[in-house]
Structure 1
Amino acid sequence: MRRTCRRCLRPESFCVCDGVVPVQTRTRVVLLQHPREARLAICSAWLTRIALENAELHRGVRFEDDARVTELASAPGAALLYPGGDSAASRAGAPPPILFVVDGTWVQAEKMLAANPRLSALPRLAIAPPAPSGYAGLRREPSAHCLSTLEAVAYALADLEGGAARFEPMRAAFRRMVELQLACSRDGRRAPRHRAPARPRGEAAGSGG
């Protein structure tokens, strides 16, 4: 059994926690992760959760009966980070109190929104990525504007709250994660797909392990 980092839930030789200090944000980021996404070696939603002080992660497909998600979705000003909405940059200085982010493939995300009309009805915010995704050949995205969950959240918060440099450590950790995974695939080692037992659903991000 490989030793696993209790914070990023990756094998210790693939740990990317160094330098990741949870960032305090005005916006509470609520990550809704498709269960299949949680099993992938590159799981940027979990890294997002530990990189932001004011964040939660909930795993599932349908959340209409989830008391916590319903409470958050019903909060005045809650929004959904998803293409087709107003530009996040247009809300600079006036970020939403709660920002939902769906973590999964585009097909999974569309199915999740169809299964959750309360979430689908939220006002949508979109971003204009300043650079291509950092997946760098590890995972093919359907179009140039598609990003990992972590990158999308980092760019959205930078647009909404300013201080883009605050979110550079989490982007750097993501790039390091991709580099380690690419090195693993090149030298023939087995990809670190198995993860430590999942934390309780909705556990808020913090500086702890």
Structure 2
Amino acid sequence: MENITNTHLFGILLTVGLFYLITLIKHRSRQNWLNPLLLSVIIIICILVLTEIPFEHYMKGGSVIHAFLGPVTVVLALPLYRQRKLLVEHKYSIVGGILAGVASAVLSVVGLSRLLGLNELLERSLIPHSVTTPIGISVSNMLEANEGITIISIIITGILGGSIAPVLLKLLRIKHPVAKGLSIGTSSHALGTTKAIEMGETEAAMSSLAIGVAALTTVLVVIVMQTMGWY
């Protein structure tokens, strides 16, 4: 068994195969609650635990998939370039929306953490939960937080954002594609952007823009907070 699991091919086939299978089931059943990303993560964890396969074995192939995160993020610039006229037309709304999203993400963590009596380390670790993983890790290190907790919070935020975004947008009657894309990208970074891509090219462009701007803004907010002696 170890000869099979302790290879790069095992992690790649398990991840891609599960994602493709769940996606296929979702399209055929037309059940929107079947989130391929969320269910793939849960099933892979269950498989590794139940079969006692070492995580290191899985990550030999998982690390290969993870290596594509950077190039895939760069590819998101393509729909943004195609929608550049829309970007100029709504520049003030876009900047205002992203700033509001970053402010609510940071302040909600600080406010709820202190309201619920969470310790300061956990509070610092959760602050970068809405930015993309590489930047989130850097922010976590700036705050001398727990990098592991930060990564988990980023993953959970992205998965939940991509899962519930369509429902929330419908309930709040948000129909403009720019507003949809910005809200998803600002709150749930690259993982949420996969859902924006499904919605349309404008949503994908605005969401990919929000990933970068929100991450940069979060870094600046943390610098200001440290300058003021809050952390």
Same fold (TM > 0.5)? no
TM-score under structure 2 normalisation? 0.22
More strand by share: 1
TM-score under structure 1 normalisation? 0.24
Quick one: higher RCO (CA 8 Å, sep 6+), 1 or 2? 1
